[in-house]
Structure 1
């Protein structure tokens, strides 16, 4: 076996590793800034830093990416029409926004019905459906079709797909192709996202393949999924929604691969966010419901984690009470800005010496985002916004320079519209600047960070000698607080957390009373700032801190050491037939069948699940895999109505004791493509 290349394109950096699969060792690791305006370029940059040559024996390239996550948050993608078959319009109107679905007047509702047993109850008026398609398909670029009970019998989805292709010739994706979960709104959210971002994702993967080809690499490309498994690039091009939490999943798998710990609290600190997950029995829990990203609640299988808007590049501000606030917004660290624009350092020195005051930090800079074409912008701009863009045309400017050149008052000054529209980005004081001052991180301009801290301290009446420590301490506390919250949620404990008590528990014990919030799980830190921010967090949890070698590139390690992992479940549901006799219905993988006896139903369910798992594993690129299975008995208590609000709106018929057959198919990258 040759070398596996692992690559992670994160929000701040793109990481890469060369992994010798036979020797189970990392040959080389590297980092490079992520070029958001041209992701292909950062792939080329990381390959250069890994010093890959055409003579290298590259067997597989494994990639994790934040592309889909960012697309969801930023609202990118093509115009796609959601088609719902058999859904109650009032329910969708009332709850759809909670799942990221569009307004009900933007959805095409089709009046057809499939029963919970998969039986056809009402055939849609397909002629009317064709007319509806013709009415608005000119503005639509793709379709997402989801049917109530489509995971049991997708016949109406398939019929609608056939008609859409015939009438419009537009791409179509169906809900049953992506998920077999009950919740139709989560299926709809997954389907809609997949439809919207497929062209974007396919273009990205094509560019990655082109970048690899420039190095003479034509090895198979696999992509990390939200559940930490991998899939072939061909498979991913049709189901990009399954990469929603690809980056965090890779980081957790990387932490698992880099340590020998059987359990722990994994904390991945990036530039923008910190991701927290619980590791037990050398595995991470998969979310029961599905990935949640931005406004979308999906049915996409994902690792169970908590994402927090705290990272090395989090903006540092002072609130109305004079207290430090860290995040959740990411800004460019001033040390990084000064590295690209050296005059920023001298300007920060001038601002520091001016002893200016005000609610807005005077040491904040703004610049037009790279590769943004202002002339091509179609949104509305105020006269003040146009003035600001004119002075930012050549280089970044601070608050004072902008006000001086535009004639605007800094007390009435706002950049909100320009930043929210994606035209302008902000640069300010961050934990990364503090780490530069302390020598913990030395990539950029350390002098600029020193002036920035001195200016910030003078403006807001902090002690400049202790401000850096206060900032790192507050950043660590925010991570600690969210770890405690996640542990409470993980154990399903029913009590409210009090910020005052948590702060007291976090600080060093003083006086005659101390408060402990302990965990026996070690804190496993990965990401560049982990070794700086997490030792204190672990100490406050009265546990040990583990920071493995290659922690700074753990995401790429996780990508390189991934595996194809398929989980299929088939349900055996007891019910009474029309004669009152007890029967058993097997439901799973777009198939259902009735049996008189449980043993016969169980045997069929197991064979169906194994067959489905093997087929799915092959689709993702595996040819040799291990099969394991188990059975769970679940009590579904209480009746539910599709119009009733619930944490997980589903189509459950009421009080049931279900048997669930779980089948797992696993294949390491060592066996990828090997029959």
Structure 2
């Protein structure tokens, strides 16, 4: 066994790295660097350099047995509606099935094509595959699509049509293609289609991240295998994840749960992982979070990705602050770069704010800035940009420019928002992290810039007067109002997770507790968790002391909580499943489905025995393909039988699931 593992977590704001001593089971060193959206390798390399420097003299690259990565990029991108331009090819889908995919609402920009083909429940052909129509459509889509997804009716019973379409698309376009049968063994075709579409949308992003990590490791002479945390908390090889990046949905939160379990020493607790973009809440019992067998959610849409049972909302330290015309403060689901962060790096930001403040007009919009992601390469910009879009984009660089200096028309505004959606441009503005700087609860960035932005937004919405004697107190009050909204929303999602149900936003009792009050007329109200609260993530110390007070429990923020994701990544295990099903045939005998051509058996017991063998074999092969040393393989059987018949005589159907637990080789 090698002595050390490295864990890396790439989030929306920071990239964290830790070195874990696997023999002593403790953290040797940790480090943070800003995530560089334009070139992810820069942030990864900086975090890696810092953590290796912090552990200098205590290890060398040859002692590193494993490097493991977790990330919130996939979750954040799908929540924020970002990713590659995609087309979804549906084989044999009728109008009802198309509607059930929810593609229109989940991915409104996706091109959706229906082609004749697909299979029936028993694996026989539903209709011949219309290759001619497919090739004609590929000609039309050639310049507008970056990745494809294909889903066929009952492809888990027979994948031949999906495989043929996948091969044709790769042959004629060279683009990555996701086949839905590779993502789930479940029969639900519409949801498989949606899952495949999400996967196609984020392939380029996750591949870029993995390449960035590999580049950073090579630069330091680290030859250890690279693994990635999946949404169920287990590890997979980097190569496997590049084909199925959708499995990294909730990767970061899953790693944080594993990390929180490790650093807190608790087996039963509720964890809240708050980052820049999202807050993720899960219940942990007996040391491992429950899995959501229905599939992880992306926003309002459920996928077929097995992941920890977690509530995720678009709420973090970098959420955009909004104020409506009536003066009500809210926090938007989208992430913006905190203005105090860019102000700490570029003095021009403070100067621009001071100039706008002195002019006294459009103060709210004047707090917004635009910049290209750090490390961006103009030569990598999409080829489908119009001349006007290219001209507007050329005006932007890594140094922030005021929104008002870039956007001078409605058309400019639309172009910029499209750039932001595609990740070509970052929007900076006022966030809860900035409000925390005003209140003195955070101090790592520019307090001056945070106060200027707070003043300008406050004045634009009538929150702060022009009376200089009241300026500081009113700024503090406005920042505190933002802080209160952040805490109340955090308490609300924790209460929902603890209760296992959703509450209306205006539920009087829940709202009372969330706002920190305990009395409603003549009713004394308290809602107290029966589990300890563990909070992790960078913003946790800022907000969760107050969150715990309102819930009536002490918040445990363990040492290392700010890098819990990276710790969880470093200490993970491989966990894979394989499913084989057996069903009664109308003609007599049994059909065994195992991902390839169906097998036919006359005897039920023989079919079940072969199904068990194939399930165990498939699970262990998967684990070995992921460079794992098998620790144990468990089998679970769900079966339906005719009542009153003994043994296997009454078998109607059975589903056999083999789960293999393995340790990464070298760990």
Within-5 A mapping of 1:86-101? 86-89=92-95, 91-92=97-98, 95-98=101-104, 100=106
Deviates more, 1:52-61 or 1:37-46: 52-61
2:479 pairs, out of 464, 468, 471, with 468
> Helix, strand or coil for the counterpart of 1:278?
strand
With over 3 angstroms needed to count, the CA separation of the structure-2 counterparts of 1:604 and 1:42, relative to structure 1, is: same
> Helix, strand or coil for the counterpart of 1:315?
strand
Residue 32 (structure 2) pairs with residue 21 (structure 1):
no
> Helix, strand or coil for the counterpart of 1:559?
helix
The offset of 1:334, in angstroms, is 2.8
Residue 315 (structure 2) pairs with residue 310 (structure 1):
yes
> Helix, strand or coil for the counterpart of 2:523?
coil
Within-5 A mapping of 1:301-380? 301-345=306-350, 348=353, 356=360, 361=364, 364-370=367-373, 371=376
The offset of 1:55, in angstroms, is 3.0
Contact 2:437-2:450 within 8 A present in 1 as well: yes
Instruction: Give the structure-2-normalised TM-score.
Output: 0.82
| Aligned counterpart, 2:220 | 215
1:563 pairs, out of 548, 570, 573, with 573
Contact 2:367-2:453 within 8 A present in 1 as well: no
1:668 pairs, out of 643, 663, 666, with 663
With over 3 angstroms needed to count, the CA separation of the structure-2 counterparts of 1:613 and 1:350, relative to structure 1, is: same
Residue 128 (structure 2) pairs with residue 124 (structure 1):
yes
Write out per-residue CA displacement over residues 534-567 of structure 1, whole angstroms, 9 at most, x where no aligned residue: 2322333333322111110111111111111113
With over 3 angstroms needed to count, the CA separation of the structure-2 counterparts of 1:333 and 1:598, relative to structure 1, is: same
| Aligned counterpart, 2:7 | 6
For 2:212 and 2:393, how far apart are their aligned partners in 1? 35
For 1:116 and 1:68, how far apart are their aligned partners in 2? 33
With over 3 angstroms needed to count, the CA separation of the structure-2 counterparts of 1:223 and 1:93, relative to structure 1, is: same
The offset of 1:221, in angstroms, is 0.8
Contact 2:93-2:114 within 8 A present in 1 as well: no
Residue 503 (structure 2) pairs with residue 501 (structure 1):
no
| Aligned counterpart, 2:586 | 577
Show structure 2 runs of 5+ residues with no match: 465-473, 642-650
1:76 pairs, out of 60, 79, 83, with 83
> Helix, strand or coil for the counterpart of 1:248?
helix
The offset of 1:597, in angstroms, is 6.5
Write out per-residue CA displacement over residues 490-521 of structure 1, whole angstroms, 9 at most, x where no aligned residue: 3x57x756344322122232474222233212
Contact 2:92-2:126 within 8 A present in 1 as well: no
Q: What is the count of residue pairs matched by the alignment?
A: 632
Residue 189 (structure 2) pairs with residue 184 (structure 1):
yes
1:418 pairs, out of 416, 438, 453, with 416
Deviates more, 1:551-560 or 1:64-73: 64-73
What is the RMSD computed on CA atoms of the aligned residues?
3.9
> Helix, strand or coil for the counterpart of 2:628?
coil
With over 3 angstroms needed to count, the CA separation of the structure-2 counterparts of 1:530 and 1:198, relative to structure 1, is: closer
Within-5 A mapping of 1:205-604? 205-293=210-298, 297-345=302-350, 348=353, 356=360, 361=364, 364-370=367-373, 371=376, 396=400, 402=404, 415=413, 417-422=415-420, 425-459=426-460, 460-461=462-463, 463-488=474-499, 490=500, 496=504, 498-506=506-514, 507-510=516-519, 512-573=522-583, 575=584, 577-578=586-587, 586-590=592-596, 592-593=598-599, 600-604=606-610
> Helix, strand or coil for the counterpart of 1:539?
helix
Contact 2:372-2:398 within 8 A present in 1 as well: no
1:627 pairs, out of 627, 633, 636, with 633
For 1:553 and 1:121, how far apart are their aligned partners in 2? 51
Contact 1:314-1:330 within 8 A present in 2 as well: yes
The offset of 1:351, in angstroms, is 6.0
Write out per-residue CA displacement over residues 405-437 of structure 1, whole angstroms, 9 at most, x where no aligned residue: 99x79xx99956523432654433322123334
For 1:513 and 1:351, how far apart are their aligned partners in 2? 49
Write out per-residue CA displacement over residues 351-409 of structure 1, whole angstroms, 9 at most, x where no aligned residue: 6677x587x626613233244859978656989x989997x78964557xx48x99x79
Instruction: Give the structure-1-normalised TM-score.
Output: 0.81
For 1:660 and 1:481, how far apart are their aligned partners in 2? 39
> Helix, strand or coil for the counterpart of 1:150?
coil
Show structure 1 runs of 5+ residues with no match: 636-655
> Helix, strand or coil for the counterpart of 2:89?
strand
Residue 91 (structure 2) pairs with residue 85 (structure 1):
yes
| Aligned counterpart, 2:32 | 31
Within-5 A mapping of 1:193-204? 193-195=198-200, 197-198=202-203, 201-204=206-209
